Amino acid sequence: MRKKIKKPVAVKGKIAEIFFSIQGEGLHCGMPCWFVRFSGCDKNCSYCDTLYAKTGGSFMTSEKVIKRIEGNAPVVITGGEPTLQGEFLSELLAKLKGRMVFIETAGSKPLADADAFEHISFHAELPLSPDDRKFIRSISVRPFTLKIVVTHVTKFKDVLRAGRYLGRFDNSSIVLQPVSKGKKIDKAALRKALLFAGRLQRVYKEVRMLPQIHKLLDLK
Ligand code: SF4
């Protein structure tokens, strides 16, 4: 009797949402993009504005995700924390080949396909830990940004240390992002981020101070 050949089971990803908007953060602000928000996260960032993506979501195959993404706009993989679903992420990236893909990550796990991204945005709470530095080295194969969300507890000495570390990488940048409260930018954090940006610029040139513009525009 001939053995039945089993079909490989498609890997499914847990997805919180897929939507079209403009990039509202970082160096590519204003760029119209598709966003694929992965569900699940193992971090507890004090400034988290996507708590809904830490749990829940729907299981989808990469084919199903691709079907939802129309046209040829760039794709932003975000979360939640995308590196926690590494196998699915690799499969999705293979299907997105030829398209401009960005990722926003907190670096929970190594990013196996770092070189597949147009740009990598890494956000970490300061001070940078040895693991954060290791993650930075691993993503430095591509242009990347360290996003620092400035809150009332952010200390300039930690920002300065991060800047000095990133100074080793020609393809790095730092975005100081004042924390938002709901749809509003925290005014005290905005003033602090501006002050920090000016001081950091004396030792590290590729610094930007940018609030989340999608919130100002009342967009997703
Ligand atoms: S990594 Fe992202 S989703 Fe997770 S807690 Fe931090 S901000 Fe929230």
Query: pLDDT tens digits for 74-91?
Result: 999 999 999 999 999 999
Give pTM, 2 decimals: 0.95
In this structure, CATH architecture of domain 12-216: Alpha-Beta Barrel (3.20)
User: Which helix (H) or strand (E) is 68 found in, with range?
Assistant: helix 62-68
pLDDT digits (tens, 9 = 90+) for 123-160: 999 999 999 999 999 999 999 999 999 999 999 999 99
Instruction: Give the residue, by CA position, lying nearest to ligand 1 atom 8.
Output: 48
Which atom of ligand 1 has the smallest separation from the CA of 53? 3
2 or 58, which is more confident? 58
Which atom of ligand 1 has the smallest separation from the CA of 81? 1
pLDDT digits (tens, 9 = 90+) for 2-25: 667 777 778 999 999 999 999 999
Return d(Cα 150, Cα 34) in angstroms, integer.
26
Least confident of 4-18, 27-41, 93-107: 4-18
Instruction: Give the residue, by CA position, lying nearest to ligand 1 atom 2.
Output: 80
- Angle 187-200/156-166 helices, nearest 10 degrees? 40
Domain borders along the chain are 12-216
